[in-house]
Amino acid sequence: MEKRNRIYEGKAKIVYLTDDPDLVIQYFKDDATAFNAAKRGTVAEKGIANNRISSKMFEYLESNGIHTHFVKRLSDREMLIKKVQIVPLEVIIRNKAAGTFCRRYGAEEGLKLETTVFELSYKRDDLGDPLINEYHALALKLATEEEIKKIKDMTFKINELMKKFFDNLGLELIDFKLEFGRFKGDIILADEISPDTCRIWEKGTGRKLDKDRFRHDLGDIEQAYQEVLSRIEK
Ligand code: UDP
């Protein structure tokens, strides 16, 4: 697989073309941003951990019938993926209250929610990724009704699978963000699944093992990512 021109550089990843028009390589950086990039920094070896963690998650989800963009992990920081057209939605699931949910609704962190919460944001950095509902998504032609239904069904299924996966590792999945892409007429899971995009707490202690350590300067950031990786690869 020959690596060619860089086509995209985001906050935490770079995407490169390959000699196959259907495939691209995503490269995981150590750069970290929070609060819509108002806070910036680097976390040593985060890119390696996130690439390895995401690869495992995609393999697990694929083996459970979820179509993803994952093809294979190429190296410590590189993953071969299908070249999708990203649906401009940030799809969030919340199992317990944390982060924006607490700020927005005055809920206490860790509150067990009466029902799982499914949320959509319009993926637009210049607008600060505003919270939207399914009508906004349709009205703005961000996705079709059929696509939104598919995304919703897949997201709830992914939540059940991921909750079980982390529970078996002594970890609790608090919330997470997914992105989906269009590929040859299908909707498939894209982007990454890592402590940058999930809140993961250690069962029993409630110790945070995710990007909140960076967001709120809790210390031991590198160790948190390595801890999740070592549990997943054990
Ligand atoms: N999230 C993300 N990217 C974003 C916004 C949120 O990966 O641009 C993840 C975040 O890490 C958390 C979940 O989605 O696991 C819910 O985040 P929340 O809405 O609470 O916002 P945040 O606390 O990131 O401001």
Ligand 1 proximity of 82 Cβ (cutoff 6 Å): no
Residues 210 and 105 in one domain: yes
Helical pair 46-63 and 221-233, crossing angle rounded to 10 deg = 30
Q: Is position 233 within any domain?
A: no
What Å distances lie between residue 10 and 30, 60, 201, CA to CA? 12, 26, 27
**In this structure, are 75 and 151 located in the same domain?**
no
**Does 98 share its domain with 177?**
yes
CA distance 196 to 156: 20
Q: Which residue owns the Cα nearest ligand 1 atom 18?
A: 100
C-alpha to C-alpha distances, 35 to 7, 12, 21, nearest whole angstrom: 25, 14, 34
Query: Are 115 and 215 found together in one domain?
Result: yes
- 90 and 70 in a common domain: no
- Looking at the fold, whether 166 and 204 belong to one and the same domain comes out as yes
Q: Does residue 230 fall inside a structural domain?
A: no
Q: Is the pTM of this model over 0.85?
A: yes
* Whether pLDDT at 1 is above 90: no
Return the best residue to mutate from 125, 177, 212 for the ligand 1 pocket (most ligand atoms within 8 A of CB).
177
User: How far is it, in rounded angstroms, from Cα 107 to Cα 103?
Assistant: 7
For the domain that residue 7 is a member of, what is the CATH number? 3.30.200.20
| Domain end marker among 47, 62, 82 | 82
Q: Are 16 and 3 in contact (CB under 8 A)?
A: yes
Report CA(177)–ligand 1 centroid distance (Å): 6
Instruction: Give the C-alpha separation, 172 to 162, whole Å.
Output: 10
* pLDDT surpasses 90 at 127: yes
Q: Which atom of ligand 1 is nearest to the CA of 196?
A: 11
Identify the pLDDT of residue 208. 98
- C-alpha of residue 197 to centroid of ligand 1, in Å: 6
Domain of residue 37 covers: 3-82
The answer, yes or no, to whether any atom of ligand 1 lies below 6 A from the CB of 96, is: no
Task: Give the mean pLDDT of 93-115.
Answer: 98
Final residue belonging to a domain, choices 13, 47, 82: 82
Question: What number does the ligand 1 atom closest to the CA of 98 have?
Answer: 20
| 163, 131: one domain | yes
Pocket probe mutation, ligand 1, options 39, 92, 189, 215, max atoms within 8 Å of Cβ: 92
- The predicted-structure confidence for 174-214, as pLDDT tens digits, reads as follows 999 999 999 999 999 999 999 999 999 999 999 999 999 99
One domain for residues 119 and 189? yes
Residue with CA closest to ligand 1 atom 19:
100
- Same-domain check for residues 183 and 91: yes
Write the DSSP string, the chain.
--EEEEEEE-SSEEEEEESSTTEEEEEE-SEEEETTTTEEEE-TTHHHHHHHHHHHHHHHHHHTT--BSEEEE-SSSEEEEE--EE-SEEEEEEEE--HHHHHHH-PPTTPEEEEEEEEEEE--GGGT--EE-HHHHHHTTSS-HHHHHHHHHHHHHHHHHHHHHHHTTTEEEEEEEEEEEEETTEEEEES--STTTEEEEETTT--B-STHHHHTT-S-HHHHHHHHHHHHH-
Q: Is 115 found in the same domain as 64?
A: no
pLDDT band at 122; cut points 50, 70, 90: very high
Q: Could you give the number of structural domains in the chain?
A: 2
CATH of the domain at 190: 3.30.470.20
Partners of 198 in beta bridges: 176
Could you tell me if the CB of 177 is within 6 A of ligand 1?
yes
Q: What is the model's pLDDT at position 36?
A: 87
List CB contacts of 229: < 8 A, sequence separation 6 or more. Answer: 49, 52, 53
**Residues contacting 134, CB < 8 A, separation 6+:** 120, 148
Q: Which two tokens stand for residue 196?
A: 């940058």
Domain match, 73 and 103 both: no
Does residue 73 sit in the same domain as residue 92? Answer: no
Domain end among 53, 82, 111: 82
Q: Is residue 155 part of a domain?
A: yes
